[in-house]
Structures are given as C-alpha cells and as structure tokens.
Structure 1
Amino acid sequence: MKLLRHTAPDPQQLALQLDFFANDHAAQPKVDQPAPPQSAPLQGGIAPVEPSRPLAQGKRRIQIGEHALDYALVRSKRRSIGFMIDDDGLRITAPKWVTQSEIDNAIHEKRRWIFNKLNERRERSARRLQPQMEWRDGGKLPYLGEDIVLRLRTSLATGIAYDETTRELTIALPQDAAEQQLKDRVQGWLQLEAKRLFGERLPIYAEKLGVSYQSFALSSATTQWGSCTADGRIRLNWRLIHFALPLIDYVIAHELSHLREMNHSPRFWATVQSVFPEFAAARKALRDHAPETLPIF
C-alpha cells in the first residue's frame, strides 16, 4: 500500500486504509536488506553450514540446523534481497549479480523471521480447514470475541432479540427456514450492532486524540478493516463486530490517528500508541484472523 503524505491533499482522493492480513503492508515487516556487492565480505563472515541446492520447478533447499527450508528464488533488477511468505511458502527475490552464497547467508540471518512467518501461515491455513458454522437452530456465531447461539422460534413477538445472559440470539423464523433467510436476518442485526457500537467508541478515541471526524459509515470491503480520508470520513468494516472490543478499539484508534498523521510513519505509530498502548498485540491478533475464518453470509 502506497503511503500518502498530508500535503494539501484532495480529500476525495486521499485515504489511508487498514488492510486485512493478505494485503497488510506489515505482513512483510521491513525484511528487505541491501545485498552486498560481489567484492564485499559476507555479513559477519559466517556462511551456512550447508549451502542450498536446487530442486525441481525452480525451488531450492537449504539446511538450517535441523530444518530443511525450501524456497523459490526469483532473479530481478532490484537492488536488494527481498523475502516474501505466501501460501506457496518462502519466495526470495534477489539482484542478478548477487551470488548464491550471499543469498544463503541472508536466509540464515533472517531465519527466525522466516520460520515464525511460516508457522503463522500454517496456523491460518489450519483454521481455514476448520468446519464452517452451521446456519441452523443451535448454530454458533462469533460476536464481540465470543460465540453466541442462534435460536429459531416462530413464537417470537419481534423479528430478532439477543439475551446477554444466555448469549442466545433468537430469530423469528420456523425451524425449516431457508439458510439464506436466516443469514440475511443475522447479518442485518450484526450490522445494526456494529453501527451502534462503532458510533459509541469513535467519540471516545477522537476526544483522546484531540481530533474531529466528519462522518463515519459501515464498510463491506473485502480487503480493509477500515479507512480514513484527509477530510475526516471514517469507514469501518462491519465484520469487526465478530471480534473482541480491544480489536475494534484498535482499528478505531488507528483510523482516527490518521487525522493527525496521514501516513504510517514512526510518528503515526507513536500517535496510535499514545491512546492504545496495546496496539502491537491487537494488530497481530487481527492479522491472525484471516477473513476466511469468519462466517460466510
């Protein structure tokens, strides 16, 4: 995501967005490093115990301690060695003039980050394989960080009602109601809850930051949790209502902080931290919740 600076912007064009994990700039946390020229010594003068070796389909394998690490190597005109973790594993992009030994050493230096990110990716993939929720009486739905139970009752006087004590959401529908009909009722209720809750939390953090926002609206974006324009228009993804309140507050604090720093500079993150000290843990928790793990409407 391109970072935009707050210099006489067009309010209709300038917006900072908080992306889902798949598109979050922080998913690749500053792992690019300048590659040394061929005549320069390797950093630290330490080479891996065993050099990498080629595999089929453009892959290579390097032994790091007890672990065999496979990766794809792409040569390009770039001036640094870049690391990227995706569903296919580790991909490294390196300048054409960098030697394989230098690439192996760069992998060795970044091994902790690489293995951490690979483990996170595997955990998210495992969560995606978990059974999806069942849209029926007794089905469970994530709401504010905990599961609530769906109850279908034809005798309900109102269309839908939530009992905080029993954590049951009762919907006025027959037991054999169509799945999409139930989804529509539940989605409508969740969006109303999101609008109510976000409307309560926004003024709290706006006051803490000393900023004013012009308006806020719900978003159904597939790639962002929230966005903020330079003229103070806030959009928050209604799917945040699935998460615990601290994660919702983090996104709200994040977007409102853009009204003081329209970028993602160190000053911006310091602004977020000033009103939400636990922002790093909340940011990680959001990344760990892949959109694929949420209910499908």
Structure 2
Amino acid sequence: MASQVQPPQPQQLSLFDAAAPAAEPAARAAEPPLTALPAAPPPPPVPPRFQHPRAQRQILLGEHRVAYEFRRARRRSIGFVVSAEGLSVSAPRWVGVGEVEQALQAKADWILRKLHEQRERADRIQANRVQWHDGTSLPFLGDTVIVVLDPRTTGAVLHADAQTLPGVPRLTLHVGLPQAATQAQIREAVQSWLQRQARRVFEERCNVFAPRLGVRLKRLTLSSASTRWGSASADGSVRLNWRLIHFGLPVIDYVVAHELAHLREMNHSAAFWDVVRSVLPDYEHSRGLLRSEVLPVLE
C-alpha cells in the first residue's frame, strides 16, 4: 500500500522564536558625516536685584544678586552700610576679597532685610510724590493743609477754620496764583512759604531750648539735605532741615534740642543723651516718629 505524502504544514512563528534574518539590502551610498550643531549662547546674566549706583562688585546672597560699593578704609574690621542707595562695604587694606565675601554671606539675612526695607521706603516715597495743583494737600506742623489757588491773594496766606466737620482739614493755604498756574509755579510759591514758616518756628524753639541747655546759638541756617535733619558746629552754628516743618512740634523740639545739645557735647556719648534727656525726658518717642515717617516729595 502506497504511503500518502502529507502536504507541507505552514510554519508558525512563536513569540519567543527568533525571526529569520532579513535579506541584506542593497548597498547604500555612503552618508555624509553629521555636522555638530553650534552651541547655544549662554543665557544673559541676571541683573542685580539691588544695585548701588557706584557698585564695583556683586555677590549672590540667598536668591538675590546684590551689586555693592566696595572701598578700602583705615579701619580695623569690615563695615556694612545699607542706605537708600544700596549696600556699601568698607574693609581694611589687609583683608582679602574672599574674606569680605565670607563676611557678606554671614550677614546675608541682615543685609537683605535692610535692603528690602530701603526698597519699601523708596516705594512709599514715590507714592508720596506731590502733584502740584489746586487742592493739593500737604502736612504742616503735624496737621494737613490744603492748597487753594486764589488770584485775589497776595503771596500765600494761611486760613484756619475751627468750624470744619470732623475729618475735614481745617487749614487752607491761599496762594496768589491763577487756576492756570504751572506745577513749577505752585511748587515754588508753596515751598517759599514753608521755608519762611520753618525759619520762624525754628527760631522760636531755639530761643526756648538754648537757655535751658545753657548754650549760646550764634547762627541758625536752613538746610535742604536729603539725609540729615540737622547739624551743629563747635563755633555755635546750627543747621536745621526746613522739611521738619511738616512734623508736629514734639518732633521739631527733639531735633532742635538734639542739635543744641551738641554745642555742649560734640558726640553721641551717654553724656550727650543725658543732656538731651534733661530737657526732653521722652525724646525716644519723638525720635522714633522721625525715623518712621515718610515725608512728601516736593520736587
């Protein structure tokens, strides 16, 4: 009996079987070598968050880059000053830059806190910048005065109304200018009046405190300094910032007594503060008001 020939079974490929190698493709043309892409340019440097106008160096303190003024000085240790301009650092000539930067890192929290305080103060000053027009309000002797353009007035005349409603300023300064006056004209007229009032009030308060302190004032001049409220010289002259006229009388008295006390003690020793305390026992309160208050920017 003839045996039957079984037809060939189709081959099954298991998932675990290796696939048969594919036929080699025809030879390909040689590919050109890959050209390296140009490196991306480095990102621009992050500008300093706090920058002193005369900065020569900068450092990263925490998350903030601080550009600071650096100078050599005849002193025994590294000094830091944070002002409205920014951070200033002074160091002896024998101290290396690395040691200076270590000191900055050690003081980073204090420096950043003071820089933020100065920035916030600058923002408040900007917000207090006066816009000169009819109805502008200004602080005067701790009160509020409203500027009124009144062409019928000669010069500038202060009016006080004791019958105003609560919360309504009782003082108005009538300035002899038309409604069409420019901001510069209004500013000049009001500032001139404020400076005249400042001289009058300062002279009165000096006449009160000089005899009590046992000093003789030889000359009183007005100052417009941006960082100092007053100064005194050994020759008996005193300079007072006319912008003190914005404060109430207790603050003015503190600055007057402070400068007159320097005619006895040309320092800030314990003896000096005893002299101030002899005429103003609670001078610390007025000094605190002077430091915390932000005056209007009249320029």
If the length of structure 2 is used for normalisation, what is the TM-score?
A: 0.64
Any residues of structure 2 matched to 1:178-257 within 5 Å, and which? 178-222=182-226, 224-257=228-261
CA distance in 1, matches of 2:105, 2:278: 35
The answer to whether the aligner puts 1:159 opposite 2:162 as a matched pair is no
The more displaced of 257-266 and 280-289 is: 280-289
Identify the residue that residue 295 of structure 1 maps to in structure 2: 298
The answer to whether the aligner puts 1:118 opposite 2:121 as a matched pair is no
Gaps of 5+ in 2: 1-46, 49-55, 162-169
Amino acid at match of 2:298: P
Aligned CA distance change for structure 1 residues 101 and 226 (closer, same or farther; 3 Å): closer
Displacement of 1:60 in angstroms is 3.2
Displacement of 1:295 in angstroms is 1.0
Displacement of 1:127 in angstroms is 1.6
Displacement of 1:201 in angstroms is 1.1
For the residue of structure 2 that corresponds to 1:161, the secondary structure is strand
CA distance in 1, matches of 2:210, 2:280: 12
Identify the residue that residue 81 of structure 2 maps to in structure 1: 84
CA distance in 2, matches of 1:228, 1:141: 28
Counting aligned pairs with the same residue, the percent is 43
Aligned CA distance change for structure 1 residues 94 and 212 (closer, same or farther; 3 Å): closer
Tell me if the contact between 2:220 and 2:237 (Cα under 8 Å) persists in the aligned partners: yes
**Larger strand proportion, structure 1 or 2?**
1
Identify the residue that residue 133 of structure 1 maps to in structure 2: 130
Aligned residues: 235
The more displaced of 139-148 and 193-202 is: 139-148
Tell me if the contact between 1:152 and 1:173 (Cα under 8 Å) persists in the aligned partners: yes
For the residue of structure 2 that corresponds to 1:135, the secondary structure is coil
CA distance in 2, matches of 1:88, 1:234: 27
Aligned CA distance change for structure 1 residues 61 and 219 (closer, same or farther; 3 Å): closer
Aligned CA distance change for structure 1 residues 199 and 111 (closer, same or farther; 3 Å): same
Identify the residue that residue 145 of structure 1 maps to in structure 2: 142
Residues 97-156 of structure 1: per-residue CA shift (max 9 Å, x gap): 579689657754x56743552343122111232152222111112212333111112334
For the residue of structure 2 that corresponds to 1:59, the secondary structure is strand
The more displaced of 213-222 and 236-245 is: 213-222
Aligned CA distance change for structure 1 residues 228 and 183 (closer, same or farther; 3 Å): same
Residues 262-283 of structure 1: per-residue CA shift (max 9 Å, x gap): 2233322232233234444444
CA distance in 1, matches of 2:140, 2:269: 33
Q: CA RMSD in A?
A: 3.4
Identify the residue that residue 40 of structure 1 maps to in structure 2: none
CA distance in 1, matches of 2:72, 2:196: 49
Displacement of 1:82 in angstroms is 1.6
Gaps of 5+ in 1: 1-54
Residues 213-245 of structure 1: per-residue CA shift (max 9 Å, x gap): 233233344554223232322232222112222
Identify the residue that residue 16 of structure 1 maps to in structure 2: none
Amino acid at match of 2:254: Y
For the residue of structure 2 that corresponds to 1:196, the secondary structure is helix
The answer to whether the aligner puts 1:273 opposite 2:270 as a matched pair is no
For the residue of structure 2 that corresponds to 1:186, the secondary structure is helix
The more displaced of 93-102 and 275-284 is: 93-102
Aligned CA distance change for structure 1 residues 104 and 270 (closer, same or farther; 3 Å): farther
For the residue of structure 2 that corresponds to 1:120, the secondary structure is helix
CA distance in 1, matches of 2:275, 2:82: 29
